[in-house]
Structures are given as C-alpha cells and as structure tokens.
Chain A
C-alpha cells in the first residue's frame, strides 16, 4: 500500500529563536483548514543554545508525529548551519527556506574545535533541491522587532503551501496572538514574508 497523504514541515534552528511558535502556527492553521495535525517538539535543553527541531505533519489522518529522513516537503531553517544539518530530511522534490543568519556554535571558537562551514551559501545552494533565501533577520529589524523572524519565515513558506489558504494562516495568527495590537504587527510580519518571496 502507498504511503499516507501527509504534508511534512520541519523547522530547524537554535534554541531561543521562536521555532516552537512557528510550528504552533502551522498546526493551528491546519486545524482551521479541518485537517488532522501532529507536531513533535524538543524541550528541556532547547533554551540553552542547542540545535532545535520541530516536526509538523498535516493531512486527512496523521498517525505519527515524526518526519522520516527524506520525508519533509518543506524545511524552514532559522540559521544556515542548521539548514545544512537537517537537509537530508528534505524530499528530492522538497523546498528549503533559509534565513540569512550565521550563528557559529561555541565549538568553532575553541582551539581544537571544528570550524563553521566554509562557503556555506554555496554548499547549501549546491545540495538543496530547491532553496529560497529569506532575509528574515534583516526584515525583522526593519519591522522593529527581531522576534518577527518566525512569522516572516511562515509568510514565505505560505506562498507555496497549497494545503493551507490565506484565511487559515490569518486565523492561526489571530488565535495565537489574540491581542489586537499584537495580531496586527504579527500579520504585518507575515505579509512581509509573503511579499519578500513574491518580489
């Protein structure tokens, strides 16, 4: 029998970047669209600067919560090295969204430690089936709130995401950020992400 019809989105990054919130927004949008959804997240050590991944799976029926290697339709990374680390989760026809940001791990500063990947932009572009760069950190700075990176990335992701419509994303944002002022600024961040990849 064939594999079930499930769309897989993997978020990756460094603890503290707002990765969990991104996963929640996709899950809420899926709920609004009437889909089943499961999400798996890493806690505990996540706040201490380690790498973090959040798996989100949506479809008519979703039995399990972990994406297999080679199973992700979309990979959204908040940092370049983490995009590379999780790139083998992407399907051959998958798309990776990479925030233009480098956070060197502590190990790269210690004398016998490893170094950050040289020419990482080129390595990513060569390896990834389809790669979309997002200037999320810079756009968030322009919007006056560095925490906006996650919704900017979600906005960018939403442009190719046929399973979910604009109204689903908006409903998710309104539910997650119910205070009217916050809703507005988060929606603005989301739309900035949409416009960025459309441009």
Chain B
C-alpha cells in the first residue's frame, strides 16, 4: 500500500493507528517525497487530508473499519465536494474480529457515501491498485474507498514494483460551488455525484483490469472479491471466475453478461452478502451466503464446502479429547495498568472502560472493567451512569481511558461532564504511547511519526483547559497513593481527572530493578500475588515462582503480599 501510494506520486499520508491498518503509514513515512503524520483521530486525519487534496496533493488517509465511523462526517461530505489532488481513504476491515469490537463491511459505507470502492486480494494488488486508485479518484472527481481486510493487510507476498510517477501539484483554486456544501450548492452537487457514479459504473462494467474474468467450466461461475479470490482458485480451479476489484458501483452489467455464460452463479465474498444482494436485486439468479457462515472469516475449507458440497478430505490427528488451556494475550510484566485495576477491583467501583491494551483489565484475574463500547465512550457513559445509576452506582463509577484514546475522543465528553455539572471521576492511563497498535506516538508523546522531537501536550493540561478543576497526577506503581486519590476524587462533588502515570514498559523498555525475591519460610500461600495476573509469577505447590527472565521488578506483587514474603531485596541491597 505504502509503495503503491509512493509510486502514484502521493504527497501526503495521514490517519490514526488501528489494527490491521497501522503499518501503512509506518512504511510510508520513510519516503522523503511523502509528508506523513498521525492524526489525532480519523476525522481530523481525513479533514487535514481534504485540505491537502484541495491544494492539489495526492493524499492517502488510513484507518481501521471502525475508524471510518469516526471519520464518517467528512467522508460523506467529501463525496459531494470531490477532489483536486486524488484522495484514497483506506478502510481495513476485520472479518472474524481478531482485534476489533465488531464485524463491519465498509463497502456499504462507500455505497452510502456514493464514492468509488476498490478491493485488493493480495500484496501485489495492494500496490498497483493503490497506484491506480489515485488516477480513478481524479478521473471521476471522487474519494476512493480502499477496502482491505485482515488477511490482505497482514499478508506477505511477491510485489511487482514500478517507477514512481512524477505528478505535478495542481495548486489551490477557490471554488465555492464545489467546496462549500451548503444546501443550495449541495443540491447541485447531488446531481454531479449521480453523474459521477454513472460514469464510474460504465468504467467498471468494461474494465478487464479491475474486474477480470478467468475463463473456466460453464457449469459454475463464481463472482468473488478480495482475499476470497485465492480460496476460490484453490477450491475449484476449473470454475469460471469473475473477480471484482472495483466494487462500488457494482458492475452489474458485467456480472449479468458473465451469468449468461454459466449454468450456476455463486458469490464468494467475506463479511456481508454485499455483491450478492446487489446481484439479486438486479434480478440475476444467484447463490451465496446460504453456502457459508454469515459471520467470521472465510478459508479454503469453507469455500470448498461452498463450491464442492464438501471440503476435500484431509487426514489429520484429532485433538478433541484434549482440553488445552487457552493462551489469551495479557498485560505485560511490569505494566502500569495492572496496579490500577487491582486497586479498582478492591475498591469495588464500577468501571466504564475504553479501547486499548487496558481493555485486557476486563479479563481474569483482574476482572476490573464492566463496559467497552467505542473510542472515548468511557467518559460519556460514566457521566450518564453516574447521574442515573442510583445508590451504589452514583458516586461509585469511574471512567478508565488510555492517553491516546483520550486525545482521540475523550476531550469533548470530558468538556460535556464539566458543563453539565457532572461529579464523576475520569482516570487517564498515561503511558506515553499508543501501545496496543504497536507503539505509535500521540499528542502526549512529544515525538512525530519519524521519531523526531515534536510538541507535547500533557493530558493534565488538556483536562484543566476544558475546565476540570480537580486534576491529580499519580504514579501508577504507588498503590497506596492510587487508592487514596481515587477515594478522595470519588467523594468530591465535581468532575475529577486522575492522570495515572506509567511509561509503557514494552515501548520504552522499562526495567525497575532486579527480579522479585521470595522468602518461602514466611509465605502463607494466600495467592494474592498470583491474582494480580502477571506472567512473571506462576503458582507451584501454592507458592509463587518468579520467572527472573520476565520479571522487571515493578514491585506490584510485593505491595499486595501481606505476609511480607516477596521483596525487592536485591534492589534494596544495591
């Protein structure tokens, strides 16, 4: 993707980290010809992108599928405005929900916004389709939604490279009838949009490159798109295939002509039956979703089932009789989120959670989170629940939000708390980085995408700036102070913000000191240390066993040990 954008003469890359889209900007920023920056959120990223587009610069804006919900407002309006320099908006969808809260097929958003949509199947297509998507954008005066999925994004393969194109920057010319979407203009632009879709439809219906046909047996014709194409080729090599790389507008005339040449028409596509519903609505007899699960990813076996009636037989061992322990991801040893969740659980407060590494605090054994909806929701939900929850809930509910998520979507709800007279408490986990997506800098990091020094805006300053009077900063590893501060702020009769500070141990390679030591002679085997859920501690015969390779001496288990059997003895001696 990054290479394709570079080859197209793209001059600006913007976006917000989100699995599985994050790596695009990480591989784009080393190209000196492309100015690359992380947006504070996807909406801002796209708006900055539109400014560059108006300046005539080819622009790519990247995000995960739910990020496009955040950017939906500018996305829908940019459709009416069209472009000057080409605009490619990447949506990385996540069928199977490997690292997402829902399974959302953003081809529907391309259709709803009336913009062009393209879908690559593998890395080579990512490169050439990205390159050509900028041409499409300028030719049809439309943003192009580049719809990827997890198995396309996180795939390695052979890519054919081209020389980068020299593209002149067109420069900015004001054009209020195009760029001010007030009702009088928008009513005219609505017709422009319709004519654009008709033009794009005619192109898609005739394009052998974007929508190629692979001739085969007339007994079965398969319409497929994205990663599913590879499964179809392997599952039924003899099938006739129409591969849809250009999926909005759906090339229905081309599909209709293809259908006439085959006895049976089957659609194989991942996530929603998007192509299938269009084909059916056009009156073309078609089968599809009835042959596959409605949820989750496809794979070769499922596509064999769909196209051959049953999967090819593959003899293997059975693991049915084995009840293997699961290995879910956990907070890292020494992570600063762990002591906070231990304190919150002990205080028995209701925790409205948010999206990041700290969502892992919801899992065993910490069990310290009750909700997780969308970026920034912890704060608004806390305001509402605190106001209406009644006894035991009002005054006993906190929002827990990471720093990157706070900058992304937490500032406006915090302002909302202040102006609406909420008394609730917001806890911001300040680890200095966007950790879950692989350590991207944010407004509080003080670094840009290249890792160079950049302006830093501390979360505590932002809280004060939106009118929070009670702003407390506390060290995550001082559990007694954490408990005292949370109690005080819950009791306060106005909005409080607690900034819990602990640099990400993984990103910043934090080591506190030598590993924790156990004095087994005074250990009462209560298990409290095990229940903080650290990979560096495992239980053996009731006693904790310290993995000295993993332990970085954060001392959280030492603080929960009532018998005094665990100690940072080596550190003290030093």
Given contacts A41-B154, A88-B318, 12 further A-B contacts (CB under 8 A): A24-B156, A27-B156, A38-B122, A39-B156, A44-B99, A45-B98, A62-B157, A63-B230, A65-B157, A66-B300, A105-B325, A115-B325
Determine chain B's interface SS by DSSP, over half rule: loop
Given B151, B322, B436, which contacts A66 in the complex, CB threshold below 8 Å? B151
26 of the cross-chain contacts (CB-CB < 8 Å) are A3-B312, A37-B157, A38-B230, A39-B156, A43-B19, A44-B98, A48-B330, A48-B331, A48-B360, A66-B299, A66-B300, A68-B314, A71-B300, A71-B314, A85-B324, A87-B319, A88-B316, A89-B316, A90-B317, A105-B326, A106-B533, A107-B327, A110-B530, A111-B527, A114-B325, A117-B325
B436 touches A44 (CB 8 A): yes
In the complex, how many angstroms separate the beta carbon of A10 from the nearest chain B beta carbon?
Answer: 12
Query: Which B residues have a C-beta under 8 Å from some C-beta of A?
Result: 19-20, 23, 98-99, 122, 151, 154-158, 227, 229-231, 233-234, 236-238, 299-301, 311-312, 314-319, 322-332, 357, 360, 364-365, 436-438, 506, 527, 530-531, 533, 535, 537-539
Residue A69 is within 8 A (CB to CB) of chain B in the complex: yes
Given A38-B155, A63-B234, A109-B538, residue A48 in contact with residue B329 (CB < 8 A): yes
B319 touches A64 (CB 8 A): no
Given A42-B154, A113-B325, residue A49 in contact with residue B299 (CB < 8 A): no
Query: Which A residues have a C-beta under 8 Å from some C-beta of B?
Result: 1, 3-4, 14-15, 23-24, 27, 31, 36-51, 62-66, 68-71, 81-82, 84-85, 87-92, 104-111, 113-117, 123, 127-129
Which residues from chain B contact A92 at a C-beta distance below 8 Å?
315-316
A45 touches B316 (CB 8 A): no
Given A23-B156, A64-B233, A106-B535, residue A123 in contact with residue B322 (CB < 8 A): yes
A110 touches B327 (CB 8 A): no
Which residues from chain A contact B237 at a C-beta distance below 8 Å?
1, 4
Which residues from chain A contact B229 at a C-beta distance below 8 Å?
63
- Bound state CA distance, A144 and B530, in angstroms? 32
Which residues from chain B contact A107 at a C-beta distance below 8 Å?
325-328, 364
B151 touches A14 (CB 8 A): no
| A-B contacts at CB below 8 angstroms, number | 174
Nearest first, the 7 A-B pairs at minimum CB distance are A70-B314, A64-B230, A48-B329, A70-B316, A50-B329, A114-B325, A63-B230
In the complex, how many angstroms separate the beta carbon of B537 from the nearest chain A beta carbon?
Answer: 7
Given A3-B234, A81-B325, residue A47 in contact with residue B538 (CB < 8 A): no
A127 touches B436 (CB 8 A): no
In the complex, how many angstroms separate the beta carbon of A50 from the nearest chain B beta carbon?
Answer: 4
- Bound state CA distance, A36 and B234, in angstroms? 15
A90 touches B316 (CB 8 A): yes
Given A31, A66, A68, A88, which contacts B317 in the complex, CB threshold below 8 Å? A88
- Bound state CA distance, A89 and B230, in angstroms? 19
Residue in B closest to A146 when the chains form the complex, CB atoms:
B549
Residue in A closest to B320 when the chains form the complex, CB atoms:
A88
Given A36-B158, A109-B539, residue A117 in contact with residue B324 (CB < 8 A): yes
Residue in B closest to A93 when the chains form the complex, CB atoms:
B315
Given A49-B327, A109-B537, residue A40 in contact with residue B317 (CB < 8 A): no
In the complex, how many angstroms separate the beta carbon of A42 from the nearest chain B beta carbon?
Answer: 7
